[in-house]
Amino acid sequence: MEQQEQVTLTPKLIFQKIIATKNLVLKNWWIILLITAIGTGIGYYIDAEKNKRLQYLAKIVFSISGASGGQDMGGFGSLLGMSGGGQGGDAGLFRGENLFYVIKTRPVLERALLSTVTLSNGKKEKFVNYYLDSTYLRQDEWASFLPEWMNVRITHNRRDSMTKVERQVFDGVLYRVKDREIKILQPDIKTAFYDLTVSMENEQVSKTFAELLLTTIERVYQETQTRKSREMMGIMQRRVDSLGRVLNRTESSLARTVVINTDAVAPTAKVEEGRLTRSNTFVSSLYLEASRSLENLRMSIVKEAPLFTIIEPAVLPLETRLFTRENTKFGAMLGLIVAIIFVLAKQTYGEALRDMKKN
């Protein structure tokens, strides 16, 4: 049995393989060009089908700032009998790449689409209906296959309250906006700036939704960041209300006792008045302390609430674009890779056949 030769990998052999691969690619340039052109064409067709009409790009550059939250919560927690005040919400949820995901989640988009906006004529309307009336979604995608959706309007403020057809129409709008018309990125990881771009078929709708979506995510962020503080404020508010009711009762009892004891001669008549006075003083001090802590907690929530600062707003007239070319670029790259793999596989297969014939 013949012993197979062991091939030693040397720099010379590596360069020889690289040169041989280069020559092979140049020799089969027409195959590579053809497959790359096919991939580019397929990507271009997908891009053209996704957006058949002129798109208006509303771009907002913003940053997120705010207190870390929870700095003064230890005292409030101790006052309520809780161990450790805790922090505010999870700020990391809205930082970096996490923000890219959160801004496209269903709760955020549902809240934005169901928000009420004021139109140019002064009429108030849900944004989802404004979107349906001002874009070509119905004509381009529903007219031929889903005629029963053409005249549907969203009348409820919650998806759970909608009819089946309304939910289908609403989801159709939501997925179209999510998959095609929203893009958020961080141009430079060294900075804290984010770019939110909305591309829609109507200039005013695009600008309105960009501003509405940013306002919605800011509101969600603030609610998340101050959630624990607001829960503690609810507990403190109930305590203040309870102490207020007790204080009202003790003050009323003390007032009645003072009136009764005005003409009293017996020394024991003053005992009840003294007891109620001490009780009233004690409850008053607790009430004032709890009220002061509640007010401080309210101020703390204001300090904890993050702020979205708009660095560059969307300004009319907006930039226009026929359609994006992401799939075109991807198709070209994929076609080039497939072409090179095909040429190399073809060459390897030919060499294998020749070796078999020699043996």
Q: Are residues 62 and 202 in the same domain?
A: yes
Domain assignment of residue 8, yes or no: no
Q: Are residues 254 and 299 in the same domain?
A: yes
- pLDDT for position 350: 73
Domain assignment of residue 274, yes or no: yes
- pLDDT for position 2: 47
For the chain, the average pLDDT equals: 75
CA dihedral 115, 119, 123, 128 (to 10 degrees): -40
- pLDDT for position 290: 78
Domain assignment of residue 5, yes or no: no
Cα–Cα distance, 103 to 206 (Å, whole number): 16
pTM of the entire predicted model: 0.59
Q: Are residues 243 and 297 in the same domain?
A: yes
Domain that holds residue 261: 230-304
Cα–Cα distance, 354 to 359 (Å, whole number): 9
Q: Are residues 124 and 236 in the same domain?
A: no
Mean per-residue pLDDT for 149-164? 85
Beta bridge mates, 60? 196
- pLDDT for position 260: 63
Instruction: Give the chain's end-to-end CA distance (angstroms, integer).
Output: 14
Residue 307 has pLDDT above 80, yes or no: no
**76 touches 296 (CB < 8 A):** yes
The number of residues in the chain equals: 359
Cα–Cα distance, 187 to 193 (Å, whole number): 7
Cα–Cα distance, 62 to 94 (Å, whole number): 13
pLDDT 10s digits, 54-72? 888 899 888 876 544 444 4
Cα–Cα distance, 117 to 113 (Å, whole number): 10
Q: Are residues 169 and 134 in the same domain?
A: yes
Cα–Cα distance, 172 to 185 (Å, whole number): 24
* Greatest pairwise CA separation for the chain in angstroms: 134
Residue 39: exposure state from Cβ atoms within 10 A (0-12, 13-18, ≥19)? buried
Q: Are residues 244 and 212 in the same domain?
A: no
Domain assignment of residue 6, yes or no: no
Mean per-residue pLDDT for 329-340? 83
Structure tokens belonging to residue 254: 């003390």
**Cα angle: 211, vertex 212, 217; to 5 degrees:** 100
Domain assignment of residue 253, yes or no: yes
What is the number of domains present in the chain? Answer: 3
Residue 152 DSSP code? -
Q: Are residues 242 and 141 in the same domain?
A: no
Q: At 125, which helix (H) or strand (E)? A: strand 124-126
pLDDT 10s digits, 73-84? 444 444 444 434
Cα–Cα distance, 287 to 281 (Å, whole number): 10
pLDDT 10s digits, 166-178? 888 888 889 888 8
pLDDT 10s digits, 92-114? 555 656 777 788 888 889 999 99
Mean per-residue pLDDT for 287-315? 76
Domain assignment of residue 105, yes or no: yes
Q: Are residues 93 and 221 in the same domain?
A: yes
Residue 85 has pLDDT above 70, yes or no: no
What is the percent of the chain with per-residue pLDDT over 90, rounded to a whole number? 2
What is the percent of the chain with per-residue pLDDT over 70, rounded to a whole number? 75
pLDDT 10s digits, 199-247? 888 889 899 999 999 888 888 877 776 666 667 777 777 877 887 787 7
Q: Are residues 145 and 249 in the same domain?
A: no
Q: Are residues 198 and 317 in the same domain?
A: yes
pLDDT 10s digits, 9-47? 667 667 667 777 777 777 777 877 888 888 888 877 776
Alpha carbon 193 to chain centroid, angstroms: 15
Mean per-residue pLDDT for 264-286? 70
Cα–Cα distance, 233 to 88 (Å, whole number): 12
